[in-house]
Every structure is written in structure tokens, then in C-alpha cells.
Amino acid sequence: MTITVIGLGYVGLPLAIEFAKKGHKVYGFDISEKVITNIKEARDITFDIALSDLEAVLQNGDFIPSTDYSTLSESKAAIICVPTPLDSAKQPDLSYVEDASRKIAEHMHTGQLVVMESTTYPGTTDEVIKPILEKSGLSAGIDFHLAFSPERIDPGNTQFQVANTPKIVGGYTDDCTRIAAELYRTFLEHVHEVTSTRAAEMVKLLENTFRVVNIAMVDELAMLCDRMEIDIWEVIEAAKTKPYGYMPFYPGPGVGGHCIPIDPFYLSWKAKEYDFNTRFIEMAGEMSDNMPYWTVDKLMKIMNSNKLLMNGSRVTLLGLAYKKDIADYRESATFKIKDLLEGHGAKVTVCDPYIQMAQEHSAIITTTELTSQLLKESQAVVILTDHAAFDEEFILQNSSLIFDTRNHIKRRDIDYLYHL
């Protein structure tokens, strides 16, 4: 089958490679010339694929990355893997989805399958994508097939990747579901069919809302434990010993990534259409948004207890990526924490071995190499990402004050080491 994957980021690129490995002819589209150039030269833009797989499908011609949408006219299936961010008012921004849908509509043909993978609110596929596609003059469920299959990408996860993570598929009609499921079963063993696109869209939001609520809960407990002088990390490790009814979540300086800080707001926004207030979800979101502020407040208290003023101090932040051992900095708490620290007069340096420069909205961060001199010149060192590359002994030997927000350094016998 000839397939076009629209959007070649963390979701689209691994998906395109897996289809190509199974002998499908895959066109990969992205609006970024830089992204296409990097892929053509077999440079991994996500740090989450096997370069040998990418090189192989490029060389045998089964994967063709391009900025040319015209390949859609010969594609049996088109899969949308574009960003679905929130705007400044935390309202869903579906502009990328709408643009992709319009391009598909321009090249629609009878029998084509269109699948949306980008995370969104229940109803998007039927209420937003379907009307745009039907401007082609073709009807969903009759002339072409339409389905939603939520991406389940976990950057940096070496155990569960695209090829071995079960897939959810829900179509506009039963036949749409069947056709889409058959496509995914060409490289996946476990494909679970649900009764509608709306059910499939809700699955993804349930998964990520579950996470954000539990992360918010443990963040709040971390604040309480701090006030009660209890080590939250010790408590979590002890709770983990229970073999049932509990799974560990960990506190941190703020949640990041494209899913956890965003997806629950898609659901709460849609719920208002049904005169329903998702108070529990919104409270979790507020707690997550508050963590960078609390982190900076605690750092200031730590510095004050050591007779250090934030104003004029050199503060080095270790980690820009939102989680360990990846290059993904989307919605990273480091942006907010750096901004807050500079607002208090601190001179802030950011180090991350995976990232040289990052831009989020209007904020730009250029990282610096982590050296012993930098650590020694810093009045405070804050570990915001627990990259394995951050050597514990090196940090301990060269720093005079460390605030570890990730429990990266697990020792409790050092008087200048503080934990979240």
C-alpha cells in the first residue's frame, strides 16, 4: 500500500519507518525543509529511532520524505501526525490539523483512508476533519474511510515503542474501523477496535488525564512532606513495595512534554460544551502549573538559609529536556523556572547534553557545556532533569550548593545537597 504520513516528528517519523519496514511505500511530509533534509541525511531529529532502520528504508526507496503534498493523490492512506497545541488562553489550536485536512481534501480520491493520530478532544475527527475532507465532494463512510487512532509515543522508552505498543482504532463507521485496523495490523500484533472516533479520542485523554492527576497529587504531597520534614522520595520507595493497588508517580519541578500539560485541557474545554465542569482535572492542571513557582520559592529559602541572596547569584540549571535522556524540551518547566529566577535577579545558565538551543513560544535558551569551573562559580546548582550524563560525583565534587528536584543524587549524608 502507498501511505502518506503528514508530520515527521516524534509521532510521524517512527510510524512512517515501521510501515516502510513492512514493505509499504511511504511518503513522509513535513512543512519544515530542515526536518526533511535531516531525515534524508539519516539524522535522527527525535533521538527515538534506530538510525539503521531509517537508513535502510531510505536506501531501498520504501520511505520518501518530502515537502510535496501531491503524493497524496497516489496514496491509499493518509495519516495525520501534526501538533495540536494550546493557544495562549489554553484553548485548543487545531490550525495544523485543519491545514493538513485541507491538503488531503485537495487530493482526495475514492477508497482513500484518512487516519488522525494527533491527540485532540472527542469529536474532532467527526466535527472538524470530516467536513473539511467532504469539501472534496466525497462522503465519509461511503466514498472514503475515516478513523482516529491515538498515538502512544513515550519518548526515551526503550521497552515500548511503536512496533510493540497496542493500538486503539475507532472509525466513523464500522467499515472505517475495520479498514484502519487492517492497515495497522500489517506491523502490529495488538490492535484494539472501539465503536467510534469519539471513543478512540477519549481513550487518549483518559490515559493522560490519569497521569496528570496522579502527578499533581504526588506534587501536593511533596509540598506537604517538605513542611512536615518527611522525605517524599523515601515514602514513594516504601509505597512501591506493595504489589497491588498502587503504582508510583514522582514529583518534579513541573510537568512537560506535548501530552501531560496539554491533553487534559482539551477535555476540560470540550466538557464546557456539555455544561460540565471538570473541576478535578482543572485542579490538577493548576497544581502542575504551580510547581515551577514552588520550586523557585524553595530554592530561595535554601539559599537564604545559607546566607545567599538570589539577586546577583549565578544559578546553573541542569536539564532543559522535560524528561531524562531525551532531546524533547516541549513545555519544559525549565523555561518558566529560568524566567522566574531572572526576575529575581539571578544570572542563569542552562546545561543539557542533548540540546544546544531551544525555543518555546518567544523564549529562547542556548545551553552551555557543563564544566567544573561553571559549577564552582555557581552559588546554586539545580537539577531539573535527571539525565544519566549528569555525573553525580562530578556535580558533588565541584558544587557548593545543590537543589535536586528529581532525586538524581540519592545520598542523604551531604549537608549542601537538598531535595524537592
Is 109 in contact with 137 (CB distance < 8 Å)? no
Q: Which of 53, 59, 34, 61 is nearest to 45 (CA)?
A: 34
How far apart, in whole angstroms, are the C-alpha atoms of residue 386 and residue 314? Answer: 21
Rounded Cα–Cα distance for residues 355 and 365 (Å): 10
How many CA atoms within 13 Å lie on the side-chain side of 357? 1
Q: What is the DSSP string of 347-370?
A: EEEEE-TT-SEEEETTEEEE----
Give me the long-range contacts of 68-72 (CB less than 8 A, separation at least 24): 68/29, 69/29, 69/103, 69/106, 69/107, 70/107, 71/4, 71/27, 71/29, 72/4, 72/27, 72/103, 72/104, 72/106, 72/107, 72/108
Task: Tally Cβ neighbours within 10 Å of residue 81.
Answer: 27
Cβ count within 10 A of residue 274: 6
Q: What residues are labeled active site?
A: 259
Concatenated DSSP letters of 369-406: ---HHHHHH-SEEEE-S--TTS-HHHHHHH-S-EEESS
